[in-house]
Structure 1
């Protein structure tokens, strides 16, 4: 099974322009993401998917691979879809979508997604990661997406609100969604052709489009959190975590 990991990276960001090139301990964030991902076993190749020449130059400068996509991509999945077409991937090839703002991703988490497809061939075409929330401040923070799933670890719903809501108790696990996806090339093409979902539009969560149209999303529970860099202050948090290690 060929496994291509794609890292979509945009320069433009309303909250943090130039985010992929922001320095973390003197190294561009996109390089941290790329190098962490390269430690995962089972990958055939890795590419950064970008529309920006500055990002392209930096990635090629540290020896990484780049696929240039259109600046008109409406979403991250549209950028992924364009990239896999340019790379000529086959329908049953596995694609890992790792966001370019996750510089502390644990390679084991990527391997979990690859192994899901190896261990359950043909049972689903999309998978993602979850993690039990330990930090209570994240429970009601809409920036941290929550998730619920069935007894077979198939997603039931994703929300920016706390789900499930305990009517009589607060003593139960709540799971956070980690924004790393795995899917077949065939699924990505089908997904990109689907109309915007009603729930997707309300929550601003692209993965809900898959659920709304009847697709299954398999969940792997990770033991490792992955800090996402949304605003400049998150750089400091990443450096603190790296120093702690």
Structure 2
């Protein structure tokens, strides 16, 4: 078990066999591989002691070593990225007190967002799981509402209580806006888009993995609902992207979109 002096580790799960984009971590975005970009973002975050890639594929491992990254080879039997992260944490020389799960396709995650989660875990030792969310403005709300109207499933929203603990996560837009979100400039929308970045106490991660999925998780296809269904509070950390665009990579079209965003907004971290 980790001690009070145990490190905080950022672990990046990177699987080769993506059904929609085979070899996704090695896909190139404006001259650099996806995994190299995510590694750079993790290293630029403040407060973590360890950064490593968890993969089941030697091609990815060899590439990570080529740019000086640390890597842990995990079994192919890991059923998802969260299980892969826990397996990697157990394989580290020192069991971490806190594990940050930074998805291997999160190429546009600002380092200060990762830092915000690490800071929250250090600030409040009672927090078992933390995740991030950004408040939506009128423009982003309308864009998401239009996308949902077309039947797109991308984009998760979250509601939380006054302490910042999550009440619910949904692929629907919550809370429902009876006035279609038409408010005034002094009354910001109470809609927060969830960012799929998580920090866990090691013990909480072990408990989470041991739980079976429940009806809410199976209905929404959102793993974080497993924690809520089993009574583990999830702290939602409000973050500001400072004008940067949030986007993840799930398909070849997403690669082109991310390249366009980087061309317009610049790199978050220099090569």
Q: TM-score, normalised by structure 2?
A: 0.86
Say if 2:129 is the partner of 1:126.
yes
Runs of 4+ in 1 over 6 A off after TM superposition: none
Say if 2:159 is the partner of 1:153.
no
Matched ranges for 1:188-207 at <5 A: 188-207=205-224
Say if 2:119 is the partner of 1:115.
yes
Say if 2:46 is the partner of 1:41.
yes
> Which of 29, 34, 42 is matched with 1:24 structurally?
29
Matched ranges for 1:158-169 at <5 A: 158-169=169-180
Q: Which residue of 1 aligns with 2:185?
A: none
Measure the CA separation in 2 of the matches of 1:89 and 1:189.
Answer: 16
Judge conservation of contact 2:175–2:190 (CA < 8 Å) in 1. Answer: no
Matched ranges for 1:41-190 at <5 A: 41-90=46-95, 93-121=97-125, 123-134=126-137, 135=140, 136-139=142-145, 140=148, 141-171=152-182, 172-190=189-207
Judge conservation of contact 1:89–1:185 (CA < 8 Å) in 2. Answer: no
Give unpaired runs (5+ residues) of structure 2: 183-188, 267-271
Measure the CA separation in 1 of the matches of 2:170 and 2:56.
Answer: 30
Deviations 1:176-195 (A, max 9, x none): 11011001111111111111
> Which of 203, 209, 226 is matched with 2:246 structurally?
226
RMSD of the TM alignment (CA)?
1.4
By how many angstroms is 1:89 displaced?
A: 4.1
Give unpaired runs (5+ residues) of structure 1: none
Deviations 1:148-196 (A, max 9, x none): 1111111010111111112244233421110110011111111111111
Measure the CA separation in 1 of the matches of 2:58 and 2:32.
Answer: 18
SS in 2 for 1:46: strand
Q: TM-score, normalised by structure 1?
A: 0.95
Seen in structure 2, the aligned counterparts of structure 1 residues 89 and 165 have a Cα distance that, compared at 3 Å, is: farther
Judge conservation of contact 2:47–2:118 (CA < 8 Å) in 1. Answer: yes
Judge conservation of contact 1:37–1:105 (CA < 8 Å) in 2. Answer: no
Instruction: Give the structure with higher Rg (CA).
Output: 2
Measure the CA separation in 1 of the matches of 2:247 and 2:136.
Answer: 13
Judge conservation of contact 1:37–1:110 (CA < 8 Å) in 2. Answer: yes
Number of equivalenced pairs? 243
